[in-house]
Amino acid sequence: MGLSPEAEQLYRHVLRSPAATLPEHAEALGWRIQQAQCVMGDLERLRLARRVVDGAVEADDPRAGVGRLLDAEETDLDERRRRLLDLRESLESFESDYRRGLQLSGPRVPPWEQVAPSEVAAVVEHLSRTSRGAILQATTRVGPSDEDLVRQHREGATSGRRDLRSILPLSVLADPRWRPVAQRRAGSGEQQRYLADEAMTVEFSIFGRSGVLLREAGEDPDHLLLRSPVVIDAFVALFDELWRRAEPVLSRDASAQDVKLLELLSLGFKDEAIARQLGLGLRTVRRRIAGLMDEHGADTRFQLGAAVSRRGLLG
């Protein structure tokens, strides 16, 4: 509030002392009169103390004087918060202008470029921030190198603007460490489907209409960033076909009753026998089987059994 240590010292002295002139206060504090006059000027500027006709220094009740300063500071803080809020609300329009500028740059952006492993994280962040539309990923492995994409997926989901879909190899389901990772990624808004490993022959990520990040084969490989609209369309078509053939995420949190129902189905029990074994009505059993088929993306009971077997839902 502009109150220096010396001004506070003089102000406190005036508050707790009998009425006295400024030279008397200076003498009590061991100050030179020039120093006291300079500090007194600060108190007068802040309207915390004043000199009356007889030369005495007076101070109002601090609740009024200091309270007035606090009110002024709070008003300034409110105004600053409002300006910061306006700036934050403008950020979206700034990003939109930036993306528009990138789109208009056209031929100045090369149709493809090679990306070293050390540069992948920066490229992913740039593509995520400057692109619109879906982020589509087909990956043949899941490991620490995926964390950059996962982080961008989470940010995209938080913003509520992105469709986040990933196709993963079925073999990853055999790794007990994958379940918490899958749950964390699904919690960020990512849709997951699984495809047989032999069908996962290429690894790529599509960032709306901004580009495709294609991973080359080999140990510690480079990536290719492809920006041609024709190439992007081809990879989107490839992803859509793989997504159609892949199976949705299956929950391992099935109830004990669901597991028992699946076990009885696998043993060849008829619906009536399953209902008797579980103590349920026949219609309830059939409705629950239909629900499991929907949950597992199966059109027939045979497909349901195949999906459950692949995922290891039963022992």
More confident residue, 38 or 296: 38
Whether residues 242 and 272 fall in one domain: no
Whether residues 231 and 275 fall in one domain: no
Whether residues 301 and 219 fall in one domain: no
Whether residues 262 and 165 fall in one domain: no
Let me know if residue 67 belongs to a domain. no
Let me know if residue 239 belongs to a domain. yes
Let me know if residue 65 belongs to a domain. no
Rounded mean pLDDT of the chain?
82
Mean pLDDT across the stretch 93-121? Answer: 79
Whether residues 299 and 178 fall in one domain: no
Residues 6+ apart with CB under 8 A from 287: none
Whether residues 26 and 130 fall in one domain: no
Cα gap 143→141, rounded to integer Å: 6
For 9-29, write each residue's pLDDT tens digit: 998 999 889 889 999 999 999
> Binning pLDDT at 50, 70 and 90, where does residue 147 land?
low
CATH (domain of 131): 3.30.870.10
Mean pLDDT across the stretch 66-75? Answer: 83
Let me know if residue 88 belongs to a domain. no
Q: Quote the number of domains for the chain.
A: 3
Let me know if residue 169 belongs to a domain. yes
In the structure encoding, which two tokens stand for residue 259, read together? 């597991």
pLDDT confidence of residue 108: 63
pLDDT confidence of residue 85: 87
Whether residues 163 and 50 fall in one domain: no
Let me know if residue 79 belongs to a domain. no
Q: What is the rounded end-to-end Cα distance, in angstroms, of the chain?
A: 71
Q: What is the pTM of this model?
A: 0.47
Whether residues 139 and 159 fall in one domain: yes
Mean pLDDT across the stretch 188-215? Answer: 87
> Binning pLDDT at 50, 70 and 90, where does residue 117 land?
confident
pLDDT confidence of residue 92: 80
DSSP assignment of the chain, as one string? ----HHHHHHHHHHHHS-SEEHHHHHHHHT--HHHHHHHHHHHHHTTSEEE-TTSEEEE--HHHHHHHHHHHHHHHHHHHHHHHHHHHHHHHHHHHHHHHHHHHHGGGS-SEEEE-GGGHHHHHHHHHHH--S-EEEE-S--SGGGHHHHHHHHHHHHHT---EEEEEEGGGGG-TTHHHHHHHHHHTTEEEEEE-GGG---EEEEETTTEEEEEPSSSS--EEEE--HHHHHHHHHHHHHHHHHSEE---S---HHHHHHHHHHHTT--HHHHHHHHT--HHHHHHHHHHHHHHTT-SSHHHHHHHHHHHT---
Asked if pLDDT for residue 119 goes beyond 70, the answer is: yes
Whether residues 216 and 260 fall in one domain: no
Whether residues 278 and 223 fall in one domain: no
Let me know if residue 69 belongs to a domain. no
Give the residue from 37, 60, 83 where a domain finishes: 60
Give the residue from 213, 229, 248 where a domain finishes: 248
Give the residue from 38, 60, 82 where a domain finishes: 60
- Domain span including residue 189: 112-248
What is the β-pairing status of strands 135-138 and 164-169? parallel
Residues 6+ apart with CB under 8 A from 51: 22, 40, 44, 57, 58
CATH (domain of 22): 1.10.10.10
Mean pLDDT across the stretch 244-266? Answer: 72
Kindly compute the dihedral angle of the four CA atoms of residues 285, 289, 291, 293, in this order, to the nearest 10 degrees. Answer: 180
For 277-289, write each residue's pLDDT tens digit: 888 888 888 988 9
Whether residues 146 and 272 fall in one domain: no
Asked if pLDDT for residue 71 goes beyond 90, the answer is: no
Let me know if residue 276 belongs to a domain. yes
Whether residues 167 and 286 fall in one domain: no
Mean pLDDT across the stretch 109-130? Answer: 86
